[in-house]
Amino acid sequence: MHELSIAQSILEIVETEMKSRPKARVMVVGVRIGAMAAVDAESLRFGFDASVKGTEFDGLKLELRITEAERQCLMCDHRYMMLALESNCPECGSHDAIPLGGDELDIEYLEVDDGKAGD
């Protein structure tokens, strides 16, 4: 299950980012996963929850956003969402296309409580 190592990598990145904010507490980490990234969202969530339990990040919430796989046809220049692993262009039927998205695995944002609410 490579999702556990991905979860641990996410936590390492969060930990590195939070070193510059020693008095703040990270509440949420938002992650974008492309539909073609070969990452199972539920396995990632399970691995993440297991990785934070009993640590300084216990209670950290993981928010996932799945992005669709977009392609651009090289024959007719049409942009389309890939619905299956082998998707032809819906306009001309060509197999020749370049990926425009859908293989991402990125941390999009951190929600941080800096303890200054109401200031």
Distances (CA, A) of 43 to 4, 5, 25, 27: 8, 11, 25, 21
> For residue 44, is it within any domain?
yes
Tally of domains within the chain: 1
> For residue 105, is it within any domain?
yes
> For residue 119, is it within any domain?
no
> For residue 94, is it within any domain?
yes
**What is the residue range of 92's domain?**
2-18+25-113
> For residue 48, is it within any domain?
yes
pLDDT in tens, 12-71: 999 999 999 888 999 999 999 999 899 999 999 999 999 999 999 999 999 999 999 999
Q: What is the pLDDT, as a whole number, of residue 83? A: 77
Q: What's the CATH code of the domain at 91?
A: 3.30.2320.80
> For residue 97, is it within any domain?
yes
Residue 118: pLDDT band (50, 70, 90) is: low
> For residue 109, is it within any domain?
yes
